[in-house]
Structure 1
Amino acid sequence: MLLELKDVHVHYGKIEALKGVSLQVDEGEIVSLIGGNGAGKTTTLKTISGLRSCSSGSVFFEGADIGSMPGHRRVLAGIGQAPEGRGIFPGMSVHENLLMGAYARKDDHSKELAEAYELFPRLAERRSQAAGTMSGGEQQMLAIGRALLSKPKVLLLDEPSMGLAPMLVQQIFSIIEEINRRGTTILLVEQNAQQALRLAHRAYVLETGRIVRSAPASELLDDPQVRAAYLGGDVGGGDTGDTAGAEGEAGKVALGKTAPETGKADGEDAPDAE
């Protein structure tokens, strides 16, 4: 077992954001975490990466309890993250942003740098350009490339398709699949639930801070209840750009909801509700 959460509770003041979350990610897998806005998906990733502390419960990585390990040491241990909203350094060049991913490393990172430029040729073309002047899709590529510079064993991806045009969404998911094929385990939080379930090996459904379903992703994709609540009904055909609104207490996951490709995604400036 590469990564495991056991009965994890997390609080924001008196508000309990995670209510006993338990999940497992095996080496080599793509595991997807789906759920409505405010379900606790981003909080789960932040707890794994050390940006949020557990009120109770445990986080294990490669069999060791990392609950008290600071975030920068988790990066060195092999946990990389491309955060929601991308979090690039706008005034720095593309190349400088990528190098920030290797900031804590003391070994040679030239191989990972070359692979990032290979995976994202557009970044190579714009290596001297200020990151803040790039499009939203390019910034998302940069955020993922920067995370890869830390040489992660598991890569945490938080809403990588948010705000991107459909063509770029397909490109990002193809690259995620290639990253996994090259040996990196992936834990994916994604608003495009249909695409996420088609890509993942296994998936968990998170509602109001609790895991309510876990199964092979293909099984959840075909489950009538999951389809009705999270995939907008029929998922057997049609364009993956179709949308389903996020509504109701459980929160229905938007399916491929897109915005014009800009340097900033819709709602990017909104406070983290998870």
Structure 2
Amino acid sequence: MLLELRDVSVHYGKIRALHGISIEVNEGEIVTLIGANGAGKSTTLKTISGLRPLSSGSVWFEGADISTMAGHKRVVAGISQSPEGRGIFPGMSVHENLLMGAYARKDDFSAELEEAYELFPRLKERQHQAAGTMSGGEQQMVAIGRALMAKPKVLLLDEPSMGLAPKLVQQIFSIIEEINRRGTTVLLVEQNAQQALKLAHRAYVLETGEVVKSAPAAELLDDPQVRAAYLGGDLGVAGGASAPPVPLEKGTAVDGEETQP
């Protein structure tokens, strides 16, 4: 097991954002978290990165409990995140942004820099351009390339397709698949549930801070409840109209067990 969350709860003040969730990510996998806005997906990634403290539970990485490890040390250990909204440094060049991803490294990172430019040729063409003047898709490439500069064992991607044109979405997902093929484990949070499930090996469905369903991604693509709630699926409503999105009920089987109401 490369990464594991065990019964993790997280609060924002008095509001509980995560309710005892447990998630596993094996080495070499692409695992995706899907769910509506406010379900706790981004909070989960922030918790793994060390940006949100645990209220209870634990986070394990490569067999070690890292629940109290500082965020910058988690980067050194092999956990790197491309955040929601990209978070680039707009006044710095593309090249300088990429170098920021290697800030904690003491070894030679020239191979990772070359790989970033290989994965994203557009960035090499514009390496001296201010990142803030790039298009949304190009900025997303900068954010992912910067995260790869840390030479992560697991790459956390938070909404990489947000705000992108369909053609660019396809390009970003193809690159994520290639990153995984080259040996990097990926944990993906994505509003585009259909694309995410087509890409991933396994998936978790989150609702109001709880895991309500877990299965191989291909199974969830054909799951009637998931299709109705997140994929615009047709549940056989009279006249052929699609059913409106509905929440998954608490008590849905999760890895052979049931969640509590």
> Aligned equivalents of 1:60 and 1:66: distance in 2?
6
Letter in 2 for 1:6: R
Deviating above 3 A after TM superposition, structure 1's stretches of 4 or more consecutive aligned residues are 246-250
> Aligned equivalents of 1:210 and 1:4: distance in 2?
15
- Match for residue 27 of structure 2? 27
- Match for residue 267 of structure 1? none
- Match for residue 206 of structure 1? 206
Secondary structure in 2 matching 1:162: coil
Structure with higher RCO (Cα < 8 A, 6+ apart):
1
> Aligned equivalents of 1:3 and 1:233: distance in 2?
32
- Give yes or no for contact 2:230–2:245 (8 Å, CA) kept in 1: no
- Match for residue 88 of structure 1? 88
Query: Shift in Å at residue 247 of structure 1?
Result: 6.6
Secondary structure in 1 matching 2:226: helix
> Aligned equivalents of 1:86 and 1:208: distance in 2?
24
- Match for residue 3 of structure 1? 3
Query: Shift in Å at residue 234 of structure 1?
Result: 4.7
- Superimposed CA distance per residue, residues 130-182 of structure 1 (whole angstroms, 9 cap, x where no aligned partner): 00000000000000000000000000000000000000000000000000000
Secondary structure in 1 matching 2:28: coil
> Aligned equivalents of 1:44 and 1:68: distance in 2?
15
- Residue 159 (structure 2) pairs with residue 159 (structure 1): yes
- Superimposed CA distance per residue, residues 177-198 of structure 1 (whole angstroms, 9 cap, x where no aligned partner): 0000000000000010000000
- Match for residue 227 of structure 2? 227
- Superimposed CA distance per residue, residues 117-136 of structure 1 (whole angstroms, 9 cap, x where no aligned partner): 00000000000000000000
> Aligned equivalents of 1:247 and 1:143: distance in 2?
32
Aligned residues: 241
- Give yes or no for contact 2:9–2:21 (8 Å, CA) kept in 1: yes
Secondary structure in 2 matching 1:174: helix
* 1:245-256 matches, cutoff 5 A: none
* 1:99-178 matches, cutoff 5 A: 99-178=99-178
- Residue 73 (structure 2) pairs with residue 73 (structure 1): yes
- Give yes or no for contact 2:229–2:245 (8 Å, CA) kept in 1: no
> Aligned equivalents of 1:67 and 1:248: distance in 2?
34
- Give yes or no for contact 2:81–2:147 (8 Å, CA) kept in 1: yes
- Match for residue 216 of structure 1? 216
* 1:185-196 matches, cutoff 5 A: 185-196=185-196
> Aligned equivalents of 1:130 and 1:230: distance in 2?
37
Is the radius of gyration larger for structure 1 or structure 2? 2
Letter in 2 for 1:92: M
> Aligned equivalents of 2:217 and 2:61: distance in 1?
23
- Match for residue 40 of structure 2? 40
Query: Shift in Å at residue 229 of structure 1?
Result: 1.1
- Give yes or no for contact 2:6–2:21 (8 Å, CA) kept in 1: yes
Q: TM-score, normalised by structure 1?
A: 0.86
Letter in 2 for 1:85: G
Secondary structure in 1 matching 2:124: helix
Secondary structure in 1 matching 2:169: helix
Secondary structure in 1 matching 2:6: strand
- Match for residue 256 of structure 2? none
- Residue 50 (structure 2) pairs with residue 50 (structure 1): yes
Secondary structure in 2 matching 1:37: coil
Letter in 1 for 2:218: S
Q: 1:249 to 1:112 in 2, by over 3 A?
A: same
- Match for residue 60 of structure 2? 60
- Superimposed CA distance per residue, residues 36-82 of structure 1 (whole angstroms, 9 cap, x where no aligned partner): 00000000000000000100000000000001100000000000100
Letter in 1 for 2:209: G
Query: Shift in Å at residue 212 of structure 1?
Result: 0.2
> Aligned equivalents of 1:2 and 1:111: distance in 2?
24
Secondary structure in 1 matching 2:108: coil
Structure 1, unaligned stretches of length 5 or more? 236-243, 251-274
Q: TM-score, normalised by structure 2?
A: 0.90
